[in-house]
A = this chain, B = another copy of it.
Amino acid sequence: MGFTPQQLSDLEEIKQLKSRYCRATDLCDVAMLRALFTPDVTVDYRGGAYTAICRGVDEMLDFLLNAHHSEMITMHHAHLPDIAFTGPDSAEGTWYCEDFHISLDRREITMGCLIYRDRYVRRDGVWKISSTSYDRVWEAFEPLRDGIEITAHSLARAGLPRDQRRDIGHLLHWKDRTAA
């Protein structure tokens, strides 16, 4: 039991990888996002009101950029990593994430928590996310309250404007919310 110094160093790099995933998603940093995944990454996000399924980094970027666009305010905070190695260059990680979204176009807040289950591999000396999935702990929607005033909003500049967005209905499936 216990971790070797090499594994402790690897753990730190894997944690940095997840840190960049969260920051780059909420800031729409496309170059940083692209560097985080293996080409064949698999993504299975099981929300309460939606599911997202992507195969490969191009689909993942399509999903991330079009779901977190210029009329979205988003926060992804992955916490409490619980990571185990499955080989010298592979690991599995569980994170407990809080997320919060304001959709300015739908005038709606989404909030909740989820459990990420990721796989990581080292390729050419760099740790990458080779698969990521999550299941919801809980999720709630609320109409955007009238009194809220937005005074900073980085995705307004960095996120995809309306005329550059692509339809991602093949990646992001919304359930009938009344059946949730």
Residues of A in contact with B (beta carbons under 8 Å apart) = 1-6, 8-13, 15-16, 18-20, 22-23, 26-27, 47-49, 73, 75, 77-82, 94, 96, 98, 102, 112-113, 115, 125-126, 135-143, 145, 147-155, 177, 180
Contacts and interface: CB of A to CB of B under 8 A. Distances in A.
A98 B81 contact: no
Contact of A138 (B19, B73, B94): B73
A16 B82 contact: yes
Given A19-B82, A80-B78, A96-B23, A152 B137 contact: yes
A138 B113 contact: no
Contacts of A151: 47-49, 139-141, 177, 180
A85 to B, nearest CB: 11
B8 A12 contact: yes
Contact of A79 (B3, B79, B155): B79
Given A26-B137, A177-B151, A1 B125 contact: yes
28 contacts: A1-B125, A2-B10, A2-B13, A3-B13, A5-B8, A8-B8, A15-B80, A16-B82, A19-B79, A19-B94, A19-B96, A23-B115, A26-B113, A26-B137, A47-B151, A48-B150, A75-B138, A77-B79, A78-B79, A98-B98, A112-B152, A136-B152, A138-B154, A138-B155, A141-B148, A142-B147, A142-B149, A149-B177
